[in-house]
Structure 1
Amino acid sequence: MTTSTPVPSGARTADEPFRFDTKIAVIVREDLAVWQKLNVTAFLASGIAHAHDDIMGTARYEDASGNDYLPLLREPVLCFAADAPALTRSHARALSRGVPTALYTAGMFAGGNDEENRAAVRAIPADALDLVGLAVHGPRAAIDKVVRGLRLHG
């Protein structure tokens, strides 16, 4: 008979995956062209990278040949698809929970730079934004509520 050593509360065993206390989710409107979905996802991920000082990995990557690579986000990013009403619902949920949120609106596709994009967002009230994408970061339970009912992009 074998016995196992008890694992302290909150600790994990070697065969358990690491589970972050926070979660990152990107939500992209499903009716966009593929290039738009990828573009929106990239922009939103860059916004999330600024959510907190510790959201980025702690070190750069290096391959066995000695090539140096930039650090990445420290935790997985879950990507969801949504129609326009579901995106609006998720936006309202994110705002009501006060979680760090990045957004991308349809008007930003016409902008040529960051200043024009910020002006396009600033001109429209939150409940009237034509959202094409959101990214959120925060406690797992709060983010789960923001994305409730959405399906993973696939």
Structure 2
Amino acid sequence: MKISMIVAYGKNWEIGLDNQMLWHISEDFKNFKRITSGHHILMGRKTFESIGKPLPNRTSIVLSKNGFCHDEVHTFSNENEAFDFARANGEEELFIIGGANIYETLFPYVDKMYLSEVDFEGEADAYLKEIDFTYWDLIEQKDYEEILEDGKIKSPAWKFKVYEKRD
């Protein structure tokens, strides 16, 4: 089973504030849905709570040491149990979707990264640990321009990049 992470982050590795996303980029949400649909998604409890419900057409797995429980969510206290569950269900590509502690803890297991680099600098309280791209190959990139509406930025510019770990 391939283990992938999917994350959007700002120029200073910002990913969230008060358990919420820092921007709304419609095309990025569509991309996230297209990529993760039909797969198992793995997240921490706070990320699940910020979403509020299991996402349609995906199997939600939450890592929590506090005995977190929610209908239609599979909770595990460690990553190996979560990985075994996904494998046992025939998953071919498991997606790690956050938050900051989950990304940092599980990064050593990651084989593939789907990264949205957002042209954003601002207040945040959750950060992605800076990634050293030395052992990664860029296999896809698409650049998006900012979208203005009534003279205001509706959607910042961003780059979508896919990396695979070198063997």
User: Would the TM-score normalized by the shorter structure come out above 0.5?
Assistant: no
More strand by share: 2
TM range (shorter): under 0.3
- Relative to the length of structure 2, the TM-score reads 0.24
- Relative to the length of structure 1, the TM-score reads 0.25
More helix by share: 1
Name which one, 1 or 2, has greater alpha-carbon Rg.
1
